[in-house]
Amino acid sequence: MLRASLRCLNQKVLYQDFPRARLVTLNNVKAHNALNMEMLERLMDLYMRHPAPETSIYVLKGAGNKAFCAGGDVVNLTTDKTYKTAQRFYYEEYQLNYHLMTMKSAQVALWNGYVLGGGVGISLPSRYRVATEKTLFGMPETAIGLIPDVGGTWFLPRLKHAGVGLYMGLTGHKLKGADVMHAGLATHFVPSAKIPEIEKALCEIRDASTVGALLDSYNVKDLPPYSLERDLPFFAKTFRKDTTMEAIMEAVTAERAADEIVEEAHRLMSSYSPTSLKLALEAYRRGCDMTDPKDAFALEYMMALRLAKDGDFVEGVRALLVDKDKKPQWSPKTLAEVTPASLETFFKPTFANQVAWDPVKPFPE
């Protein structure tokens, strides 16, 4: 049995049970609360193996004052040349993501700081998502030769404004503060100074059905303008499921001189792995037509393992996170060299006897 405790401060995930709430704290502060295998196992304990009663709510936050969760420990995934770490990590991470999408208990995610990659995966499924002026939300995977995963194949095509999901997935653009509310990603926006008070009130709640009203009482109605508002027509016209990466690059090249947002998109995508860009677009395209998020995770598992072994992921992590020379040598180097046939290999098993991702079955030992 789990015991309610915050005493083990050396643990990377802390929790405390209250009469109607379970407070879960990501406690990997030096790494901006990025998820590693140890943390993932702990979260699976707290949510799946020994869950709180369905009458309780979950409150999920990040320790420190900079980050909710800045993603996953991708460096460790690229150093294990047996690829067993990657196979297990992705399998179980996606299981947790899917469980959070489907569990009956309500969760409140306190997005006070970085909410990136894996941090999105464990919090976007929450019924309540509370942003502050410190929130920085993004899916930066394409920058390191990966693709927007943790359910990105499912949720990016379903964002509020047409094209914004694909734009964010391809460029890694990060939404700041109230922009997260404008984009329909957050359910509430509050001053960061109010977060401790809100956390305390949530932990003391007596009836889970009153969570919405409690958060509404702190919600800021008058928000600053949406920084992407002017570009929404361009996103809808350019970042479509029925387009190509070549057409997207042609469009942003033509418009970049007149628009700093488009200029940023051009600069970022020009530096990314051509394979990852085309693969991210194809995943988005397939995600648009899916009817069950299970299919998205199964597809992402296939792609993530192929990228870990044969794609640009290892090189991207080396260049941006290990050696930090910021000079990745992508292979192939151009969009034209990434053929439909080469893309198709990413949707097939990478390893002999590779297990198919399953939302419930444990990863085989």
| Residue 72 is among the residues annotated as catalytic for this protein | yes
Q: Catalytic: which of 141, 179, 199, 282? A: 141
Parallel, antiparallel or unpaired: strands 175-176 and 136-138: antiparallel
Q: Catalytic: which of 71, 72, 145, 169? A: 72
Residues 163, 237: contact at Cβ < 8 Å?
Answer: yes
Residues 20, 53: contact at Cβ < 8 Å?
Answer: no
Q: Which of 280, 216, 209 is nearest to 243 (CA)?
A: 280
Going from the C-alpha of 189 to that of each of 129, 164, 349, the distances in angstroms are 9, 20, 42
| 214 burial type by CB count under 10 A (0-12 exposed, 13-18 middle, 19+ buried) | middle
At 310, the amino acid letter reads D
Chain-centroid distance of CA 93 in Å reads 11
Residues 43, 96: contact at Cβ < 8 Å?
Answer: yes
Rg, Å, the chain Cα set = 20
Residues 240, 233: contact at Cβ < 8 Å?
Answer: no
Q: Catalytic: which of 73, 92, 93, 149? A: 149
Q: What is the C-alpha separation between 326 and 318, in angstroms, rounded?
A: 9
Verify cis geometry, omega within 30 degrees of 0, for the bond prior to 332.
yes
| Residue 316 is among the residues annotated as catalytic for this protein | no
| Residue 118 is among the residues annotated as catalytic for this protein | yes
| Residue 172 is among the residues annotated as catalytic for this protein | no
Q: Which two tokens stand for residue 291?
A: 């009817």
Q: Which of 212, 201, 199 is nearest to 62 (CA)?
A: 199
* Residues listed for the chain: 365
Name 18's bridge partners: 21
Q: Catalytic: which of 71, 118, 152, 316? A: 118
Active site residues: 72, 118, 141, 149
